[in-house]
Amino acid sequence: MAGSVTAAVGKVAETEPRWYQRPATFVLLGGAALWAWAGHALWVSTETAPIAGPQLEASRYFSSSFLERSATYGRFLEIESLLGMATLLVVLALYARHGHRLMRESAAGRIGTGMLLGMLGFGVVWLAEVPFGLVALWWQRRYDVSHQGYVPWLINSFLGLGTTFLFVCLALLVTMGLAGVMRRWWWAAAAPVLVAIGLAFTLVSPYLIPSTSPLRSPQLVADARALEREKGLSGTRLEVQDVHRFTTAPNAEAAGFGPSSTVVLWDTLLDGRFNRSEVRAVLGHELSHLAHHDPLKGLGWEALFLIPAWGLIALLTRRRGGMARPEAVPIALLVLVALQLLTTPFFNAVSRRQEAAADWGALVATREPAAARSLERKLAITSLSEPDPSGFSSFLFDNHPTAMERIAMTYAWEERSANGQQNLGSSHLP
């Protein structure tokens, strides 16, 4: 009897194909190749701007007291941020281990319970990060970068969790719903669904930015329209966001695509500290982002990150029954956040590349390198950012080129302009 069983097992083993003979292996390999090709295509779609201009001394543009002050300010926040990340991982690791016990607090079904665990995971993370946020705010207030009160910050931060929870629920609805139907291969199917949701969100995101109103200055609107034409764009929405109650730091952003393409200027940029040429440089920068389709590329990068991340999550959550089960959600959170932290330097590099390209695009469009230099100097001073941080710090934390790199770029543009080579020979950088 025992002999016949052994023979049968041996027969099964003989008939079962090896891993390299399975169709799934080929599908996976093909997928991996496609993924690598897409990543490469996305990377090269953003041309490298010549940020390696002449070597400049920061002390030529900033006072020694400012350099010292910004270094102290930045260093503290960096250390604080690293401690915050470590705490985040510890908290999530503990939550991954014990979080499934909170299932008893749910009367919802499988997916609803998963949503509860996902939201509570982010809630626990918020609780753990609150002290770091408060310390950071204290530091910013001390250096006059922020004048937001502690209580309003806490309340806003707490209520902001509602939006986070909403997205967590949506993501878990898709992943757990698909995992319930497709079991082990849900992650491959989830990608197109979430990309479609991401696309829809990117499209409507400009309309969700709070406290905005149309840009009213006729001169700036005229400047923006002229720059738009330079960039081959039209109909971009120009909005101003009211943020001066919370911060003195200036900023701007480009959001949306197609009909929802929007440039949002913070009202701190229009409070008289920046002259018209400098604001024009900001407009040129943001319009370049839109011309380079950076919001869509951002979505592409996220999709490229999520596909393998979900594959890994699918693998690591098997012990708890896979993503179809709510008890797997705390583990999924840990894996996702850990992967995000690990890949942060890479995504910072991607962002720096896009920002540099937008800077270059702004120079090409405005042809005002002196205004760009002045802007970068003022931006650094008002936001107290270190003009020339260490390479390690930049690698870990910076998603924009440093102020000195950006200033150097203006010289590089002047040099090329003098040689009649403004366009870098690129289709992406007109």
Partner 1 sequence: MASDHGFRPVRLTIVDDLRRNRATVFFRALLALPLMVWLAVWAVVALVAGAANWVAALVLGRSPSPLHRFLSRFLRYATHAFAYLNLAAGPFPGFVGRPGYPIDLEIDPPARQSRWSVLFRAVLAIPAILLVTIIAGYGANIYGLNSRATLSCLLSVAAFLGWFSALIRGRMPRGLRDLAAYALSYGAQFWAYMLVLTDRYPSSDPLTAIGPLPVRDHPVRLETGGDLRRSRLTVFFRLPLAFPHLVWLALWGLLAACAGVINWFATLIRGTPPRAIHRFLAAYLRYQAHVAAYLFLIGNPFPGFTGTEGSYPIDLHIAGPERQNRWTVLFRLILVVPALIVLGIYNSLLLIAGFLGWFAALFTGRMPLGLRNAGALVVGYAAQTYAYIFLVTGGYPYSGPAEPRPAPAFPRQPLPVPILAPTPVPV
Catalytic residues: 286
b/e per residue 25-57 (b: at least 16 CB within 10 A): eeeeeeeeeeeeeeeeebeebbbebbbebeebe
Structure tokens given for 300: 């592409």
Closest approach of Cβ 201 to partner 1, in Å?
14
Q: For residues 323 and 310, what is the distance between their CA atoms, to the nearest angstrom?
A: 10
Task: Tell me if residue 238 falls in helix, strand or coil.
Answer: strand
Structure tokens given for 6: 């052994």
Largest Cα span, the chain: 93
Spatial CB neighbours of 394, under 8 Å, sequence gap ≥ 6: 402
Closest approach of Cβ 112 to partner 1, in Å?
5
Spatial CB neighbours of 329, under 8 Å, sequence gap ≥ 6: 99, 114, 117, 118, 121, 172, 176, 323
Burial environment of residue 402 by CB neighbours within 10 A (0 to 12, 13 to 18, 19 or more): buried
Alpha helices in 183-328 (DSSP H): 186-208, 218-231, 276-291, 294-316
Site of interaction with partner 1 (CB under 8 A): 102, 104-109, 112-113, 115-116, 119-120, 123-124, 127, 158-159, 161-166, 169
Computed from CA positions of residues 363, 367, 370, 372, in that sequence, does the dihedral angle turn out positive or negative? Answer: negative
